Structure 1
Amino acid sequence: MEIKNMKSMDPNLLLSIVNMKLRDEFESLDDLLRYYNLKESDLTDKIKEIGYHYCEETNQFIGC
């Protein structure tokens, strides 16, 4: 499953994939967004649906 299909993806699955990529492949959310050519609001809004937000200090999405 590709992040590029995030609009149709279950937000829980998207959260898992994004956090894994942030942990293993990207040093920041900006790096991930640039690599996949995504708008930050599209990604963060989708993940906010399940109560998570990006934490720059830990470089991951965490629950509110």
Structure 2
Amino acid sequence: MKLPTDPHLLYSLVNMKLRNEYEDLDDLLRSLDVDQEQVMRTLAAAGYVYDAALNQFRAARE
């Protein structure tokens, strides 16, 4: 699956898939054969961080 390059669309899609289809981020990325570093960099640049306890990306706190 080709993921969106827009970080806000990516954020929305990844969180929806984490909520509805996957146990955790590793499971999602492995299943979609997506590079974890690229996803993390893209979302971090837009101010999002992954919260493993909630299994979702959230806005980073300053």
Q: TM-score, normalised by structure 2?
A: 0.88
> Are residues 1:38 and 2:34 paired?
yes
Listed as ranges, the gaps of 5+ residues in structure 2 are none
Listed as ranges, the gaps of 5+ residues in structure 1 are none
Alignment of 1:1-12 (within 5 A): 2=1, 4-6=2-4, 9-12=5-8
Match of 1:53 among 22, 43, 49: 49
RMSD of aligned residue pairs (Cα, Å):
1.1
Q: Aligned residues, how many?
A: 60
Higher helix share: 1
Q: Which amino acid aligns with 2:43?
A: I
What SS does structure 1 have at the residue aligned with 2:18? helix
Q: TM-score, normalised by structure 1?
A: 0.86
Q: Which residue of 2 aligns with 1:18?
A: 14
What SS does structure 1 have at the residue aligned with 2:53? coil
